[in-house]
Amino acid sequence: MLTFLAYAMVATFITLIMTKRVSALVGLVLVPLAFALMAGFTTELGPMMLEGVRDIAPTGIMLLFAILYFGLMIDAGLFDPLVTRIVKLVGNDPFKIVFGTAVLAMLISLDGDGSTTYMITAAAMFPLYRHLRLDTRKMACVTVMAGMAANLLPWGGPTARAAAVLNMQAADLYLSVLPAQIMCFAWVLGVAAILGLRERQRVANLPEPVADEQLSPKVLVAEDNARDPDALRPKLFVVNLALTVALLAALIANTLPLPVLFIVAYATALLINYPSLAEQRRRLAAHAGNALAVSGLVFAAGTFTGILSGTGMVDAMTASIVQVIPPELGRYMAPITAVLSIPFTFLVSNDAFYFGMLPILANTAESYGISKEVIGRASLVGQQFHLLSPLVPSTYLLVGLARIEFGELLRFASPWALGTCVVMFLSCLVFGIFPWAA
């Protein structure tokens, strides 16, 4: 019964948000609450939900201050030269803009932090999409796909988790899947080219095309309706650039916890750029809405994962999958693990999959002569779909920056992201990263 309720809960939630029956925040809180009550849990729900919020709190705080920090830098004009350069490179060609979005997101995502990738990419590209009336779903799609391909990096998270569980070096595990990652990046660029060509054709058929003179870099920067001209700080460009580079370096080097780094960076940037208390209040108010919307969704997701884990639904889902694998399919555990990683890293958190389910799959595979290292490689295939999960906090930031609903991104990007999973799966077989059968 618990297994049935677990799958029904996830299916209900996904259906509701994709059909726009409820907002993501409402669904994240009320859907798991309703199914937990049906499962017979009552007084235990409060501690479960609080535990989930507590676990996700560092991520929520990090995103809150990351939004405030990069919002402040956008106000101060740090990214204006980048926007100007990109406008000169891509002009008003929708194909070049969509393709350039993918390239930019791929380069920035090498730092392993999704929220940074989304904020910098959106800061540079969103003005172009808005002024040319391009579909921002395409911007969000290629950006999140670039992030998913880069998520295989050792410092990205999943690879480190799999390596830790299997007692391997993260670098060794990553190097073994590097050829497949390169193919995933190539697929992302191919998707960007397809979407760019489609967007070029769509825009060409619009009744009132935007005049070329409206698309100059200066106009794009000046007419950004989220900008306050009085907030620009061109004289502090070098200082802000140095502070941002130092922040990114500290993020990669993991010198301090991410929430602490963004809190300190934001406080420092606020003091340097806007020493007046009145100015500081205005800057905080300018981005409070976006910051609150994203962080609110993150904490709501914490209640979802808290109930999912606390009720034992995650364990029930894991056991149900392992039990249905018949012995005669044991020699195919590598491709089975790869296929299972796609829905399960979407339905549950990476921690739940890699620390809960992967050891069971790896131990089962060993009994059929398949090494844990092979299963670890196969388990990474699902990362090409993982960031579209409603349980990933940074994805809410992306949809907020693109000014679309979460369900819109899920519907639009899912076929392309599943294509990336297929590309990685086939690449792993072709390059011998994992075998079809023992």
Each residue of 312-324: pLDDT tens digit?
A: 887 787 777 777 7
Q: What is the mean pLDDT of the chain?
A: 84
Percent of the chain past pLDDT 70, that is, above it, reads 93
Task: Dump pLDDT digits (tens) for 346-382.
Answer: 887 777 788 767 877 887 888 788 888 999 999 999 9
pLDDT band at 422 (very low <50, low <70, confident <90, very high): very high
Is residue 191's pLDDT more than 90? yes
- Distance CA(296)–CA(303), nearest Å, equals 11
| H-state helical runs in 19-157 | 24-38, 45-76, 80-90, 94-108, 114-131, 136-150
What mean pLDDT do residues 388-409 have?
Answer: 86
Confidence band (pLDDT; 50, 70, 90) for 111?
low
Task: Please state, in angstroms and rounded to a whole number, the distance separating the CA atoms of residues 76 and 88.
Answer: 21
Is the pLDDT at 259 greater than 50, yes or no? Answer: yes
pLDDT of residue 213: 44
Domain definitions of the chain by residue range:
4-51+307-430, 53-151+172-304
Q: Dihedral sign, CA of 316, 317, 318, 321?
A: positive
Q: How confident is the model at residue 73 (pLDDT cuts 50, 70, 90)?
A: confident
The first and second tokens of residue 87, run together, are 């406008």
